[in-house]
Amino acid sequence: MQPTPMIRLAVAATFVLTACTSSQAHPASPPAGPPKPSSTVSALPGGSRAIDLTSLSGRIVFDNFQDVWSINADGTGLRRLTRSPWPEFQATWSPDGRFIAYRSEPNGHPEIWVMDADGSGQHRLTRDGGFPAWSPDGSMIAYAPGGGPSGMSGIAIMNADGSGQRRLPHTDGGEYPSWSPDGKRIAFNSNLSGGPLMYIVDVDGSRVVDLSGVGDGGQVAWSPDGRSILFASSRDHPDNYRDIYAMGPDGSGVRRLTNAGGETPAWSPDGRYIVFSAGGLFVMRADGSGVTSLPIEGVGEVSFPDWR
C-alpha cells in the first residue's frame, strides 16, 4: 500500500497525527505481527468545543503495536501492562473491568491471552486467533481464528476460560467481532470478497445479516445502547486513508464522524464519547464534535483502544 498524501486543513491551530491502516486481506490465520502505520493526515483540535478530560471517567486499554498499556480516561495514570519481546496488542476489557484479553505472538503466530487488569496473571486461552471481544455478560469471548474453509480467518466464540471453542458458520474472512448489548448477535467485517465489508451474525450461527450494501467498512464497534455501530472506512477517500462513521444496526443512517482520519474506534461505557486512534489516542463526543487528544508520552504509535 502506498502512503497517502498529506492533507492540510486551514484552521487556526492544527496538530499532526499519523493514522494506521488495518490489513486488507488475510492469509490462513490472522496476520502475524501488528499492522503498520501508512498514512499521515491533519486533524482539527477540539477548539472551543474541546472535551474537558477531567470530566471523563473509566480506564482505556490500548497498544503501541508491541505492548499493551492502559491509561485513565482523563489522561492520567499511564501504565505498561506487558513487556514481552514479541508483539502483544488488540487488547479488550472484560465487562467488569477485572480482566483484559489480548493477542500475543510468541512464535510469530497469533494467540489469545488473558491477564488481570494490572497486567498480572498472564496466560494463554487459544493457540490460534486474534481480535478478541468479550460478551456483555463476560461469559464468552468472540475472536477470529484462522484456517476456515477458504483458508482465511473467521468468527468463533469460546468460554471466557478458553473452553468450548466453536466456529460460527458463514463468517469466513471475518475479523473485528463486536457483540450487541443483549449478547445475541455479533457484528464483524470480512475480507472474503475483497472488502472489508460488514455483517452481523446470530451467536448461534443461524442467521447472517448482510450489510455489504453500506460499502467499505470495518473495525466495527456496537454502541452500549444497541442503536449504533461505529466503523472505519475509506469510502470517501480514493487515497485509502480512513475516517470513522456510525450507522444503525440495519445499515441505515450512515453518518461521518471524523474528517481528517481515524481508526479502531470504541465507545465510552455510557455511550457519550468515542475513543479512537490516529497515531495517538483521541476522544470525541458521540456526534463527532470536540476531538481532543489524550496526552500520552513516550509510547509511540498507538491503536486498538477499549474503554471501561
- The pLDDT tens digits of the residues spanning 203-238 come to 999 899 999 999 999 999 999 999 999 999 999 887
Res 33 pLDDT > 90? no
Confidence category of residue 239, pLDDT binned at 50, 70, 90: confident
Residue 274 buriedness (CB in 10 A; 0-12 / 13-18 / 19+): buried
What is the pLDDT at residue 241? 87
Range of lowest pLDDT (141-150, 264-273, 275-284):
141-150
Q: Which CATH architecture has domain 15-307?
A: 6 Propeller (2.120)
Residues 6+ apart with CB under 8 A from 193: 173, 212
What would the pLDDT profile of 47-66 be if each residue is shown by its tens digit? 458 999 999 999 999 999 99
Which of 304, 279, 276, 258 shows the shortest CA–CA distance to 19? Answer: 279
Q: How far is Cα 236 from Cα 163, in angstroms, rounded to an integer?
A: 42
**Section 67-81 average pLDDT:** 98
Q: Where are the domains of the chain?
A: 15-307
Residue in this structure with the C-alpha cell 497498544, named with its chain if needed: 63
What would the pLDDT profile of 195-204 be if each residue is shown by its tens digit? 799 999 999 9
Q: How far is Cα 229 from Cα 242, in angstroms, rounded to an integer?
A: 16
Instruction: Estimate the share of the chain in helix, then strand, then coil, as percent rounded to the nearest 5.
Output: 5, 40, 55
